[in-house]
A and B are shown apart, each in its own frame.
Chain A
Amino acid sequence: MNKTVNQKAWFLVLPVLILVAFSAVIPLMTVVNYSVQDTFGQNEFFWAGLIWFEDMLASDRMWDALGRQLMFSGIILAIQAPLGIFVALNMPKSGIWSSVCLVLMSLPLLIPWNVVGTIWQIFGRADIGLLGYTLDALGINYNYTQDTLDAWVTLIVMDVWHWTSLVALLAFAGLKSIPDAYYQAAKIDQASRWKVFRYIELPKMTGVLTIAILLRFMDSFKIYTEPFVVTGGGPGNSTTLLSIDLVKMALGQFDLGPAAAFSIMYFLVILLVSWVFYTVMTNLDKQEG
């Protein structure tokens, strides 16, 4: 569409601007404020320069959390992307079963995140949970509160359970938009199933897939509730991901300075990935239009 230049459009955007500014800018200013100040307590602050940032960059705590986070996000992406595509390729495209699949697959996406955590917390227990009980009966030593590996596996499986449907649904939407004529032509050209996937299905899914992967990366990067409910960040701090660590610092220990510096860094990473996302999205839109 041809957009005309019209500065009066700002009036239409004003409500959004005010609301989001209130929600975002003001708190962010607070955070920036705290990040460069220190306190004697009793709400008295003084300028502290960049010491919080220096501390943070030097501290193991931050780098460990970041490392864990990157590993977590990396692993779940490596599982969710191919699995999502695979499921999308197998979903029925029409008929009653298509609706059934869509509804059932969307269900995990709409469960409050703490309930997701609760479900898996229960599921994994040896005394009352199906998974825990079964593993125990098979003789496998499984305890997600005490064993680091078990905790990680549980969190990863939980996240895969929770979010794969999103990737699958997005990929499915891309697949569904492929006209039948392409499949018919491929038949006539005697293309193998793999070639059909590579030359017809994958190119058409690339757009939605990129968005799905970026979204999943960003959302997994800020995950808090689900792992917190299941492991609380433990055992020890082996599953303390970035958000969990930050909340511990800010609301738990009330270490405002370090928490603020941490927040800024966190936010910068998000900003970077957002920028990538935005660029990809506008390029895709340009291609389609």
Chain B
Amino acid sequence: MAKITLDNLAHSYLPNPASEADFALKELNHDWEDGAAYALLGSSGCGKSTLLNIISGLLQPSQGRILFDGEDVTHAPTTERNIAQVFQFPVVYDTMTVQDNLAFPLRNRGRDEGYVAQRVQDIAHMIGMEGVLRRKAQGLTADAKQKISLGRGMVREDVNALLFDEPLTVIDPHMKWELRTQLKTLHRDFGHTMIYVTHDQTEALTFADKVVVMYDGRVVQIGTPEELFERPEHTFVGYFIGSPGMNVIPAQVQGNRAVVNGSDIPLGQAYRPPEGKVEIGVRPEYARLSQTEGLPVQVRRVEDVGRHKIIRADFFGQDINIIAGEDDHVSADMNRVTFDADHVNVYANDWRVQGEAA
């Protein structure tokens, strides 16, 4: 187990990067705590796989350093970093048995057979594959193979961190849940530092203690799932997390009021006039449709998703979403919406602006 520190880390795939746009990974300073479970969340191409490969040593960063427990490992090869990585699709050595697969890393390091046998037994028990140890790895299902990959990563006791690169992509949906649970259990029981890359917010939010959201090569927010939900630091976080995501509405902000199309929206805090592109963000969960109070809105469609209703509406020419409870009454003459002031955030140039108590 180790604490991983990123120091001024950045990466460009081009030999001579000129501007920020040339960097796949923009400058990053961050500590990954020992023993925590992190999710690295973002859409495709945002740089999360790049970051993971830099941590594991499969990629050398073009700028900056990476430290394991204070020791500079930036130029250390993968083998010296003692990390384990599970890839997007199962990597198993087909010609070997499950047992030999699990034993492979230990045998390569020259450990004696007695020790190897014991560890293989322990790990097989952990991933629930004791019964198939003698079988050839070739014919097994995808989820079994991923478990073997996982086991192979954990069989070394001195592993510093476990890295997962979208490991559940090829797994059947009903097995995904089971594997996720198993990973969580493993983390609880053994306390390895785990970094889990995914583009699926459900996976991220259920797996991790802390979620690192990435957008366009930059880390935009690190926080618990709750923090991400309540106080998105970046409009992307607001949009990406939640289903549907946060409503982002252009507005002018003066003191503790926001003005949209001449109408006032009360805010929970007071703000100095922000500069640049100013928007307010409010989640559909904190918007309420009513007949009498609030600002004018036109309901266009109501979708009943079972557990709740999603109302698609038109607010001064903007598309917004409102979530109403399953049993809440929604009728055609409800054409007003209120926003819960405490849950309206202000964004300037996509970044959240901190206000003062009103």
Contact = CB atoms under 8 A, between A and B. Distances in A.
A/B touching: CB–CB < 8 A: yes
Contact of B108 (A179, A184, A190, A203): A190
A188 B84 contact: yes
Nearest to A195: B108
Size class of the B contact interface (CB-based, 8 Å): 20 to 34
Contacts of A190: 79, 105, 108-109
A47 interface: no
Nearest to B80: A190
Interface residues of A, number: 15
B91 interface: yes
B104 A181 contact: no
B83 A192 contact: no
Contacts of B239: none
Nearest to B79: A190
A118 B16 CA distance: 52
Interface in B73-98: 77-79, 83-85, 87-89, 91, 93-96
A69 B83 CA distance: 55
B58 interface: yes
B149 interface: yes
Given A188-B56, A188-B79, A190-B108, A181 B93 contact: no
B199 interface: no
B192 interface: no
B26 interface: no
Contact of B105 (A179, A181, A189, A200): A189
Contacts of A188: 56, 78-79, 83-85, 105, 153
Interface in A179-196: 179, 181-182, 184-185, 187-192, 195
Given A190-B108, A190-B109, A184 B79 contact: no
Nearest to B155: A189
Given A189-B108, A190-B109, A184 B85 contact: yes
A199 interface: yes
B152 interface: yes
A185 B56 CA distance: 11
Nearest to B92: A185
Given A187-B58, A190-B105, A199 B85 contact: no
Contacts of A191: 104, 108
B91 A185 contact: yes
Nearest to B78: A187
Given A187-B58, A188-B56, A199 B95 contact: yes
A189 B85 CA distance: 10
Contacts of A189: 104-105, 108, 152
Given A189-B108, A199-B96, A182 B91 contact: yes
B189 to A, nearest CB: 22
Contacts of A184: 58, 78, 85, 87
Contacts of A185: 85, 87, 91, 149
Interface string B220-260: 00000000000000000000000000000000000000000
Contacts of B89: 179, 181
A203 B88 CA distance: 21
B68 to A, nearest CB: 15
Nearest to B96: A199
Interface string A230-261: 00000000000000000000000000000000
Contacts of B94: 203
B49 to A, nearest CB: 11
A192 B108 contact: yes
18 contacts: A179-B89, A181-B91, A184-B85, A185-B85, A185-B87, A185-B91, A187-B58, A187-B77, A188-B56, A188-B79, A188-B85, A188-B153, A189-B105, A189-B108, A190-B79, A199-B96, A203-B94, A203-B95
Interface of A: 179, 181-182, 184-185, 187-192, 195, 199-200, 203
Given A185-B91, A187-B58, A203-B95, 9 more contacts: A181-B89, A188-B105, A188-B153, A189-B152, A190-B105, A190-B109, A191-B104, A199-B93, A199-B96
